[in-house]
Amino acid sequence: MKITLFVLAISLVFGIKATDVFADPPVPAFYASVMKMAPEGKLGQVIKQEKIATSIKGAIAWRIAYISSDVFGRKTISTGLVVAPAGPAPAEGRPVMTWAHGTTGSAQNCGPSQVLDPAVPLNEYFLVGGNSWTDYGIPALEEFLKEGYVLVATDYQGLGGGGRHQYSVTATNGMDTINAARAAASMKETGANKKTLVYGWSQGGGATIALAGMPDYIKQTGTAADNLQVLGFVALAPQDISIFAPPGKLDQSAADKFIQELQKMFLDSIFNFTHATMFYWGTQAAFPNLKLTDIFTEEGAKVANEIYSNKCMHVASDTFNFNYSTSYTSLLKQKPVNTLAWAEAMVKGGVPVVKPVAPVQIYFGTKDTAVPPLMHKLYQDQTCKLGGNVGRMQLPGEQSHFTTPGSSKPFYISWVKDRVAGKPLANACPQN
């Protein structure tokens, strides 16, 4: 990649040398062409699409690139996957399920739609039967297709559409998720109607509950598909760092304590360290007033930028482990600086604490060490007090973060079908 004034400026923001800026990794031709495009158009507008083969019988699928925006309203390009039943749609049209995936990484080649045969049920790296270096696919894809739904799965901005990925900036990730629904609804080939449900896991679970608290963004007009009728939100082990922030206006003391507690909570292993530092990297991507060297050492900023610009989640974790083993925390400053600005950014980019626009149902396992169940318990407590309808179900058995999607499937399929059918739903908030 040529060193341009833009790259020089970015290198200064990162707190590293221009010679330490690295090119994006190679991506398939579809994404390489999209990365050269300008993010111009209506929210949800499909600016490129490509029909792809799928091994799912009775289905048709496309890769798409569409217009989205971030937490500051800056237009972006996101890529993703659309899968619909083959054949004519019924007169009333087809409901849309928009899927927000869990952590796959932060480099341009980490978008799930880029794998071979991406239009399949969720396939997880860690589970027996996982057949890729990443998680990809759409949960309950075949079941929802049989019900006559259209499925759309965003890659999120920065994972194939250009720009730095705002990893776990849940507001931005949620915007990508609803704009994916607008994109699918705008495609005549899908036969979609306005009924929309949102579901997501982990990073995508955070995007799901963030979107539930963004009524103005959902209701705005002038998009590629206005007036989507959002019926509900399903969040599988949703991640929400901002929920741990002290309530009210942050001051320096509160910000210092918040950042220190995050360090203690998420730096206990290489795996959690990778998630946490990728979150710092993604937050800085969204908030250019921050510098990586506020939190990382000089070496840490250089290493993090190289790894997160070029590698996806599991290989990034392996790289840290190989090179730093038990000394990985040495890449972080013992006393971070500019913590108030960082804390404020995490709150602004996090899940809004407002009444959800539609019912929310959360599923979780007691053995989840990646997303502490306390996160979504606090979310439920706060949003229920505001008048929301937020259910939270502990799954049977001892479910981990990675068994949660499969073990929750029978429950959320039924819940989704009831919302599409318009069945009444009792308030699922705990009764005091």
- Does the pLDDT at position 276 exceed 80? yes
Q: What is the mean pLDDT of residues 22-35?
A: 91
pLDDT in tens, 391-431: 999 999 999 999 999 999 999 999 999 999 999 999 999 98
> Is pLDDT of 44 > 80?
yes
| Beta bridge partner(s), residue 154 | 80, 100
For range 202-228, the mean pLDDT: 98
pLDDT band at 7 (very low <50, low <70, confident <90, very high): very low
Mean pLDDT along residues 26-35: 97
CB 156 within 8 A of CB 200: no
Specify the CATH number for 5-242+355-420; select among 3.40.190.10, 3.30.300.130, 3.30.300.30, 3.40.50.1820.
Answer: 3.40.50.1820
Amino acid 362: pLDDT: 98
**AA identity, residue 120:** V
Q: What percent of the chain has pLDDT over 70?
A: 95
Is the pLDDT confidence value at 310 over 80?
Answer: yes
Give, in order, the Cα–Cα distances in Å from 72 to each of 38, 172, 290, 344. Answer: 17, 9, 15, 14
Per-residue confidence band for 22, with pLDDT thresholds at 50, 70 and 90: low
Residue 29 has pLDDT above 60, yes or no: yes
State pLDDT tens for residues 258-269: 999 998 888 999
CB-neighbour burial class of residue 91 (10 A; exposed 0-12, middle 13-18, buried 19+): exposed
**Domain residue extents for the chain:** 5-242+355-420, 250-347
Q: Are 59 and 119 in contact (CB under 8 A)?
A: yes
Residue 5 confidence (pLDDT): 37
Give tens-digit pLDDT for 312-326. 999 999 999 999 999
Name the pLDDT band for 10 (thresholds 50, 70, 90).
very low
The predicted model gives 55-82 an average pLDDT of 97
What CA–CA distance (Å, rounded) separates 367 from 373? 9
Per-residue pLDDT, 115? 97
pLDDT confidence of residue 431: 87
What percentage of the chain exceeds 90 in pLDDT? 92
For the stretch 234-267, pLDDT in tens is 999 999 999 999 888 899 999 999 999 998 888 9
d(CA 280, CA 172): 15
Q: Is the pLDDT of residue 20 over 60?
A: no
Whether the per-residue pLDDT at 19 is higher than 60: the answer is no
Our measurement of the distance from residue 369's CA atom to the centroid of its chain's CA atoms, rounded to an integer in Å, reads 19
pTM of the model: 0.94
CB proximity list for 216: less than 8 A, separation 6 or greater: none
Residue count of the chain, please give it: 432
Strand partners, 274: none
CA pair distance 70, 349, nearest whole angstrom = 9
Res 344: pLDDT = 97
Chain segment 136-179, per-residue pLDDT in tens: 999 999 999 999 999 999 999 999 999 999 999 999 999 999 99
pLDDT score of 3 more than 70: no
Sheet with 360-364: list strands edge to edge.
46-52, 59-69, 75-85, 150-157, 94-100, 192-201, 229-236, 360-364, 390-394
Q: Does residue 23 register a pLDDT over 80?
A: no
pLDDT of residue 6: 36
Model confidence at 24, in pLDDT bands (50, 70, 90)? confident
**Is residue 2 over pLDDT 50?**
no
Band the pLDDT of 355: cuts 50, 70, 90. very high
> Which whole-number Å values give the CA distances from 415 to 199, 202, 365, 424, in the listed order?
11, 19, 18, 11
State the pLDDT at residue 68: 98
| pLDDT (average), residues 46-52 | 98
